[in-house]
Amino acid sequence: MNKAVEIRKLEETATLAGGPALPTLRFLTCGSVDDGKSTLIGRLLYEQDLIHDDQLAALERDSKRHGTVGAEIDFALLVDGLEAEREQGITIDVAYRAFSTARRSFIVADTPGHEQYTRNMATGASNCDLAVLLVDSRKGLLAQTHRHAIIVSLLGIKHVVLAINKIDLVDYDQAVFERIVGAFQAFAAPLGFSSLAAIPVSARFGDNICRKSGNMGWYDGPPLLAYLEEISVEENRAALPFRMPVQWVNRPHLDFRGFAGTIASGRIGRGQDVVVAVSGKSTRVERIVTADGDLDMASAGDAVTLTLSDEIDIARGDVLATADARPEVADQFAANLIWMGDDELLPGRSYLMKVGTRTIPVTVSAVKHRLDVTTLAEHPAKTLRLNEVGLCMLTTPAPIAFDPYAENRVTGAFILIDRYTNATAAAGLIAYGVHQATNVHAQNLAVTKAARARLKHQRPAVLWFTGLSGAGKSTIANLVDQQLNARGVHTILLDGDNIRTGLNKDLDFSPADRVENIRRIGEVAKLMTDAGLIVLCAFISPFTAERQMVRDILDEGEFIEIFVNTPLEQCIARDPKGLYKKALAGEIKNFTGIDQAYEAPESPELVVGHDGASPHQSSARVIAYLVEQRFIERFDTGDWSI
């Protein structure tokens, strides 16, 4: 089940369970592996008589099979539902549970403690208002304890309960408790939590879970459940400035045009002025339409359709705001990234950014620093790896509307998506927008690209030859270049090895530098097309995302991807530079086709080299394509037009 749908169903269940006075509290349990998170939740539910008889019977059976506490009931198994979780005794996925007491309804997310599943923990934390951070009394604070505290802080959770668990295993020692609390308070001071309560507990035996323990006369605070029942964590999103990301343009017939979405923050009333954040176009709200009829006023959390007094251009992904409190609009911004991808972050690579209801390409232009989860020190870094956290600079091809995450958790959050695998690469939290220096302005050129191309009797284009080393890219590109030159076509050939002797001689062959290599070449190729040239580029360019990045910066139709599809075995047999021999011997690392994957184009404009054709035959196919698509004139008739 989709996690968002699951949470909504749990909210409905919690609301129907009784009539608590305070709003539903959404909290998570987190901390290092085996600190007792699942056991704590299981014990809490057990002591509140919230486990049905059949569930309890099943739990007793499972405890005999998978339990780790002898003949006793292993309460961790109540929420560790996956077979792999029970076999390994760890939490892998996020498990949600809803329950109610006479005072309050709760939704708890049991998140994994293992470092490998930190991304799952961040997912669970993103919907919570309070974190119960567990610490094993015997081990004290661990690296994962620090990492989870930092993620909790970055995600805007301001309330933390430090549950010092397994206190029974240190003989309920007050000194152990106070030592751990003092160390955590010192570590967490810069994180800016609004409340931090420390409670000594034994999840296994129920000490200070639902009722005061008689084993710790020195502790005069409340048990965990009583504290959770009373704490006020409500964030009044209705008091924030009005924001509504447009999810859908509702046009059932010619007489109705509305803009549907869920109000992220603030309030909006009928007759109130609003603006489209990016374009700045203003209008007025005529109607607030819902499934239950029109409203005079709507606020944060309401799903509505707004009809407006003026016909202005609004599409899915636009953000509506009030004119007197607009969000930031920028195409460059700084954001904290929690890296979730198995592949490391590659600055310069193009990812997809999903912010609100809008999905847009984005480039991580630089990593400012990586955060040390033990000391909170900021270390210089060129990349981020799985579970690392860092401040990065990002650039989008068009401006987006946002608020800093510290001001608005809805409009300041986003995810990065790998364009090739479609997997979530990172969770992002916008820190601030970056505005370009006021003394930098794009210069309008009197002589346009079209005018320069017209003088040359050709249409500008980039012929991008991609394929394995030894596939024949440079050979075919050189033949095409010669034939075009003989026709009087104005060209320039950019070859991988030649570029690396000059412009890119500071780059190596690591994944990050491969991306930067292609980014620079793409920018050079764009400048060449502005001069009206046909640019031939012969590069391995193994990553789909980088080839797409070059395509995106060029005008529509200018990027012609030519896949030189020579089989790896044939490339190894050719080995014109002896590189495969060295790579197979381990003398060259990150060599494409050997220990570096090559992502073949899925829908290139041309495929050559796969059917036994000679380089001359392949080059003739490229020339024929250029004539057919009217990039160059026919040699025999001179028939050509832009």
The residue that leads in pLDDT, 430 or 633, is: 430
Query: Using an 8 Å Cβ cutoff, are 132 and 161 in contact?
Result: yes
pLDDT(223) > 80: yes
Those residues with Cβ within 8 angstroms of residue 445's Cβ, 6 or more apart along the chain or in another chain:
none
Helix ranges restricted to H, 34-173: 37-47, 53-66, 83-88, 118-125, 143-154
CA–CA separation, 134 vs 469, rounded Å?
Answer: 52
CATH number of 244's domain: 2.40.30.10
* 281-339 tens-digit pLDDT: 999 999 999 988 999 999 988 999 999 999 888 999 999 999 889 999 988 899 999 99
The residue that leads in pLDDT, 103 or 254, is: 103
Q: What tokens does 194 get?
A: 């609004």
Decide if 38 is catalytic. no
Instruction: Establish if 635 belongs to a structural domain.
Output: no
Same domain, 246 and 315: yes
Instruction: Specify the 3-state DSSP secondary structure of 641.
Output: coil
Query: Using an 8 Å Cβ cutoff, are 299 and 266 in contact?
Result: yes
- Give the pairing of strands 534-538 and 461-466: parallel
- Label residue 226 by pLDDT band (50, 70, 90): very high
pLDDT(41) > 90: no
* Angle formed by the axes of helices 118-125 and 143-154, nearest 10°: 30
* 527-564 tens-digit pLDDT: 999 999 999 999 988 888 888 889 988 999 999 999 99
Domain boundary at 306, 321, 336, which?
Answer: 321
Q: From 200, 231, 198, 202, select the one nearest 217 (Cα to Cα).
A: 200
CA–CA separation, 511 vs 234, rounded Å?
Answer: 45
Same domain, 114 and 244: no
Instruction: Establish if 444 belongs to a structural domain.
Output: no
- Amino acid of residue 445: L
Instruction: Establish if 440 belongs to a structural domain.
Output: no
* 149-196 tens-digit pLDDT: 998 988 889 999 999 999 999 999 999 999 999 999 999 999 989 999
Same domain, 583 and 538: yes
Same domain, 290 and 217: no
Query: Using an 8 Å Cβ cutoff, are 75 and 91 in contact?
Result: no
The one catalytic residue among 137, 541, 618, 619? 541
Domain residue limits at 68: 3-230
Instruction: Establish if 565 belongs to a structural domain.
Output: yes
Instruction: Establish if 442 belongs to a structural domain.
Output: no
Q: What tokens does 139 get?
A: 């081990």
pLDDT(13) > 70: no
pLDDT(51) > 70: no
Same domain, 344 and 301: no
- pLDDT the model gives residue 15: 46
- Alpha-carbon distance values, 351 to 19, 341, 426, 561, 632 (Å): 46, 12, 10, 20, 34
* 59-95 tens-digit pLDDT: 556 655 555 555 566 565 655 443 333 344 333 456 7
Domain boundary at 321, 341, 376, which?
Answer: 321
- Alpha-carbon distance values, 361 to 155, 351, 513, 515, 549 (Å): 23, 6, 20, 16, 9
- Residue in the block written with tokens 């412009």: 503
The residue that leads in pLDDT, 322 or 112, is: 322
Lowest mean pLDDT among 212-226, 471-485, 492-506, 508-522: 508-522
Same domain, 207 and 103: yes
| CA angle, residues 29, 370, 597, in degrees to nearest 5 | 95
pLDDT(458) > 50: yes
* 392-446 tens-digit pLDDT: 999 888 889 999 998 998 899 999 998 878 888 999 999 998 865 445 556 678 8
- Alpha-carbon distance values, 383 to 38, 246, 466 (Å): 34, 34, 26
Helix ranges restricted to H, 400-543: 449-456, 473-486, 496-500, 511-530
CA–CA separation, 129 vs 156, rounded Å?
Answer: 8
- pLDDT the model gives residue 497: 82
Residue 135 backbone class (left: φ over 0; alpha: ψ -120 to 50; beta: rest)? beta
- pLDDT the model gives residue 82: 35
- Amino acid of residue 118: T
CA–CA separation, 216 vs 55, rounded Å?
Answer: 32
The share of the chain scoring above pLDDT 70, in percent, equals: 86
Same domain, 110 and 253: no
pLDDT(450) > 70: yes
DSSP 458: S
How buried is residue 380: exposed, middle or buried, by Cβ count under 10 Å (0-12/13-18/19+)? Answer: exposed
The residue that leads in pLDDT, 72 or 590, is: 590
Over range 122-135, report the average pLDDT: 88
- pLDDT the model gives residue 639: 46
Same domain, 174 and 40: yes
Instruction: Establish if 638 belongs to a structural domain.
Output: no
Query: Using an 8 Å Cβ cutoff, are 309 and 283 in contact?
Result: yes
The count of C-alpha atoms lying within 13 angstroms of the C-alpha of 385, restricted to the half-sphere facing its C-beta, is 5
Same domain, 225 and 241: no
- pLDDT the model gives residue 641: 40
Instruction: Establish if 439 belongs to a structural domain.
Output: no
Same domain, 186 and 136: yes
CA–CA separation, 453 vs 357, rounded Å?
Answer: 40
Over range 352-366, report the average pLDDT: 90
Structural domain count, the chain: 4
Q: What sign does the dihedral 379-381-386-392 (CA atoms) show? A: positive
Report field, pTM of the whole predicted structure over 0.75: no
CA–CA separation, 624 vs 642, rounded Å?
Answer: 17
- pLDDT the model gives residue 69: 54
Instruction: Establish if 46 belongs to a structural domain.
Output: yes
- pLDDT the model gives residue 91: 38
- pLDDT the model gives residue 88: 41
- Alpha-carbon distance values, 600 to 470, 488, 563, 639 (Å): 15, 33, 8, 35
Q: From 436, 489, 439, select the one nearest 461 (Cα to Cα).
A: 489
Q: What tokens does 239 get?
A: 């008091």
CA–CA separation, 567 vs 471, rounded Å?
Answer: 8
The rounded mean pLDDT for the chain is 85
Q: What tokens does 330 get?
A: 């920028």
CATH number of 138's domain: 3.40.50.300
Same domain, 482 and 547: yes
Compute φ and ψ for 246, nearest 5 degrees. Answer: -75, 120
- What is the per-residue DSSP string for 133-161? EEEETTT-S-HHHHHHHHHHHHTT--EEE
Domain boundary at 194, 209, 230, which?
Answer: 230
Same domain, 420 and 560: no
- pLDDT the model gives residue 597: 81
pLDDT(7) > 70: no
pLDDT(638) > 60: no
